Amino acid sequence: MGRMVVVCDPETALGFGLAGVEVRVCEDARDAAGVVAAMLEEADVALVALREDWHEALPDALRRRVDQGGPTPVVAALPSLARAAVPGEDTYIIRMIRRVIGYQLQIRR
C-alpha cells in the first residue's frame, strides 16, 4: 500500500500530523513545487495532496507531468478555506472531473 503525503504550510501541517498523515512543510509555492517533483520520483508514494493555490502555481512542465497522470502518485489539490468560492468560477474538482470524464457535470441545487 502506498503512502499519502500532504504538502502544506506549517499551520495546516499540525492538523494532518495529528491525524497521522505524513506531511512535508513548505513556506511557499516554489518550495512546494520542489517537494511535489521529488514525490513523483518516490515509488511508494500513492497520493500527494497540496494546497489548492500551490497546485495552481506549479510550473508548466511540472503541471503537465502531474496532469498527464500515471499509475502513481495521484496529485490532488486541497481546497483552501482562505479562498472563497466565486460564483460561476470552476473549482479545481470541477476542472478535474471534466478532464477525466470528458464533459462537465452540472449540479443543480
Distance CA 81, CA 83 (A): 5
Residue 69's domain comprises 3-82
Q: Give yes or no for a contact between 57 and 80, defined as CB atoms under 8 angstroms apart.
A: no
How many domains in the chain?
A: 1
**For 31-61, what is each residue's pLDDT tens digit?**
999 999 999 999 899 999 999 889 999 999 9
Domain membership of residue 11 (yes or no) is yes
Q: List Cβ neighbours of 73 (8 Å cut-off, separation of 6 or more).
A: 2, 39, 40, 42, 45, 46, 47, 48
pLDDT by residue (tens digit) across 30-39? 999 999 999 9
Q: Is 72 a domain residue?
A: yes
Interhelix angle for 60-68 vs 29-40, to 10°? Answer: 40
Q: Is 73 inside any structural domain? A: yes
60 found inside a domain: yes
Q: Is residue 97 in some structural domain?
A: no
Residue with cell 500515471: 70
Residue 20 within a domain: yes
Asked, for residue 108, whether it belongs to a domain, the answer is no
* CATH number of the structural domain spanning residue 56: 3.40.50.10580
Query: What grid cell was written down for 49?
Result: 495532496
